Structure formats: structure tokens, C-alpha cells
Structure 1
Amino acid sequence: MSLLDNVKNLFGFTPAQPVKAEPALEQTTETSKPVSKGLPPAGQQRDRLLRFVIDKLRPYQNEPETAPTALNLCICCVTNEEEDVYKVALWDSQPGKFRSELVRQLADNYIQLPANWRFAYTFYSDALPDCTYRDGNLGLLIPDRTRPDTSPLLARLVTVKGQLEQDAYSLDPAQKTSYCIGRGHSTQTASGRVRTNDIVLLNDDDPGFNAERGAGNGAVSRAHATIRYDAARRQYSLLADPGGLPASGNKTKIFHPDGTMDRADIPGMGYPLQHGDQIELGGEVLILFEVI
């Protein structure tokens, strides 16, 4: 140590200590997660479908006399996944629900379609057919009312209350124009003729009968009612057969979607059916009528 250093130490002067450099902090850049670019949720697609149909039907606002009698919604889907989303949007597993929602929203926009108007939808994988209206991958087919529609009107019956042999029955005029409704598969009428029922309510001794579901089946006659189809008018009607009339101590009613009700109590008279009607048999069994 030099003389100068000794003097500095004597008077308390110490050499400055070297500053230890702090290690540089690594800069971390937070990368944002990629945003999913998948298909829109089914609810968004449902709103889009409803808006599309309503917008194209605006010319019929306050014009119920000229409103379409049928609508066919056409959807072009590139993938099966896309088609599945649209099926959820259309409530494919709940027949009639999308049509009912469409009726409600059309009414909010002063558009009223005929009571028995038909609604259908079809998926296409390549391209849309010639449509009345188009918007992107959506198309809407509206039949020309100047040409008479002679195609048969398809319908179905769905169990609401009671136990039928099938939960749903299809009505196809190309196959039959008259459908007998009653308890059991067959019965002998007063004239001696054997009647075979097409719409069967189970007897308590039939295979598959459930005592809880079929508790009210016994109130239904073996020859209760008949549904007939008029091809010229493209109209289904309900007739109460002898077993379903008050004279036999029974009753048959039709509850309409607008809250009104018809009693089918006149022999041989046909009571027109419209989409959404509920047929009551014997005061215990309810069957929903739907146009498809």
C-alpha cells in the first residue's frame, strides 16, 4: 500500500467499492390466445334464419289474403358440423317449435299466414336451387299461388296425454285418406263389420301397456273417431264415430291454438283440423295434430 493510500485510510477515505451490476431482467412478452373462429352459436343462427324469413315476407304485411300458403327454407352447408349447428337452430329434435316461433315473430311484424300453411327446410351441400329469395347460403322458396297446389298434405299425430302404440303417427294421403282411431287394434261394430284401427290406444292387456301413461285409455271407445283427408280441399277433418259420441256416453273435442274449442258431437259431420290442434278423446287422452 502506498504512502498516499495510508494517509487516505488515516483520515477515513476509502476507495469506492465497485458496483455490482444487477442481472438484466428478461422481458417477457405475453402472447394473446388465438381467438376461435368457429361457427356462430346456434342461437345466433336461429336469429339470422328468423330475420331472413321475416325480411323477405315484408311485402305481405297486413295482406293476409295474399300471404303464402307454404315456405321452404333452403340452407347450403359446406360441412356436417355446419349442418348440425343449423339443425340445433331449427329445433330439429322438437318438431313444430321453430314454425311456432316464426308465427309469433311474423305476427309481431303484422304478417299473418293461413292457418294450415306449411313449413319445411332442406339442406344442400353444393349449391342452392332456384329460390324466390336468396341471401348468402340461405334461400326461401315460395310456391306460386296462381298455380293450384295438388300435392298431398302430409301431417302427423303426436301423443300428448295417454298411451298410444306409437308416440307419433304419420298421415300420408298417398297411402291412405282415412284413419280410424280407437282403443285396441280391432273391434266388431254393431253392423257386424270388423273395424281395424290405424291409430291405436293400448288396452291394459296389450304388450307394452304402462299403467301410469295409459291410465286414461279406458275412457276411449274401441271405435272412437276417424280422420279423413279431402284431396280437393287439401284438408284433414275429424269425425266422431258412434263410440265417441255423447249418445254412447262419450265425448270428442278439438282444442284450437287460438284458445277456441269444437265439440265433435254431430254424427257424420267432419270438423276441420288445423296445425296445432289438440284432439281430446274421452276427456282423458290428448293427441296433437301437426302439418309437416
Structure 2
Amino acid sequence: MKNFFKRLLTNPTPAAPEQSESLPTGNVQPTLSIPATKAKREEIIKFIINGLKPYIDEKGHTIAGLRLYVVCNSKELEETLKVALCDDTPGMFQKDHLERKLINNFIQLAGGWFFEHHLVNDKVPDYCITRGSFGLEVIRRGQDLFQQYSVARLQVLVGQTEFPEYELDPQQQLKFNIGRTKNPKLSTGRIHTNDIVFWAQDDPQFDAQRGTANLHVSRNHAYILYNPQLDKFFLFPDKGGLPENGNKTRIYTTDDKMKSLNVPGVSHELENGDQIELGGAAILVFMKV
């Protein structure tokens, strides 16, 4: 027995090896976190509410609309933003996610108020409330401002369109999309709606002789945006109307100057008589009424 205890003391049982600090790579579940889409949506809503702090509990300052601009430089971020802003269900972000939060923060909203979002590659417009990659334009509409809305027209000089002339009436809508065919399906799979429609080759209304210039117009070439605060119309290149996609958007002014719109989110203030050239072929002329 003495010899047994002597051997035990001189040869103790080896200690179990220390566990590694690194986690095993087996069937261990990763730590859960807030989904990227939900986190981005909450970040956007928080930015909007913070940007509207001057309007909290100000009953004399009713908000008629909001335009959100977000700088987006990657496809992954673009998809996250589109899902967060309910891009496939127009009005859902405004009604189901944003409106209740604004009302809870005592921000006065006009009946029929609108919300728009725009993804830009470069920078948000200079007239926005900004923070980081976000920009917010606030549209305040009272009866006096509503009566001051200007109306403009687009006359088609070259190209075959649905109508020879289009009225741009801000009391009906603030954004007017320009492109080929009425409801084209974009490369992303999204259905796009054009207001100024150049007929496509497969449209039954297309005429080969009159519609030659249409072949140079992208499905989502450009859009015109009315700014109620400035009472002005601005022309923006859309994704399909940029040089990177093989297209061009140019303006020829009445004083014989030419301007190319090559940067997403950068606009041209339209003046009476400006000619808009799409793809180097189709031409529209802008006229103030």
C-alpha cells in the first residue's frame, strides 16, 4: 500500500488539456444580430426624424412631402436599401414604417403628403439636410405656395413618342420619367414606368421611319423633377442615360451652350427653350407655360 501511494505521488494523473480560446468550427451557431435590412431601415427613420426636429410640434409648418437621397456605391448596399425602403411596394415604407413615427414625434403632415427616395452614386443635392450618406429635402406646402406652382411643357422635336407634347403639371405629380416604351422591364427585373414614352421596336405603334431616334433612347434614360421650394424643374440622368451604359444625356441652351449630364444625382436646371438630347438622337424642347 505504501508503494502504491508513493507511485501515485511521483506520477500524478496528467491534467486535462486547457480548452482553446477559439471557438470550434463544428455545429456552433453564430451570434444573432439585427438583420442588415431592418437596421438600415431604422437608421433611415432615425435620420429623418432627427432632420425634422425643427418641425416638431410646429402646427403652423405642415410638411407636404419628403425626398430622401442616399449615396450608394455598391450593388449589395443598393439591394439592402431597396428592400429597406420597400421599393417593390410603393407607399409601404411611407405608410407602414415612417408615417406613424412622424406622428408620434408630433410632426405635422399635410393630407396626401408624399415620400420619395433616390439612390445617387456621387453626392446628395446641396439644398438637403445631410448626415453622412443621407440627404433629406423637406417640401412645405401651404395654399399660397400651391398656387405658385409653375406648369411646363415638353415638345418632341425628334423621335416618335406616345404624344407630340407633354404637360408637366406639379399639381398632378412632381417626377416625370423619360424612356423607351411604357413599362419596360429593367435588367434588375423591376418594372419601370415612363411618363414621356418613346416607342420601342416591339411596340405596335412603332414606325421604323419616324422612330429611328428611339433606338438610342434607354428604357430609363432620364427624369425631370420639380422642386416646389424653388419653383423650378430639374433634369437628371437616369441609370440608362449615363455614358457607362453607352448612352448620353445632353442639354443645348438658348445661348448656344452644351452641357452633358454624366454624373448620377447631378442635375441641370431647365430654362425656357432648353433642348434635351437623348442618346445623341432624340430631342425634346422644354417650355415654360
Q: TM-score, normalised by structure 2?
A: 0.48
Q: TM-score, normalised by structure 1?
A: 0.48
Based on CA coordinates, which of the two structures has the bigger radius of gyration? 1
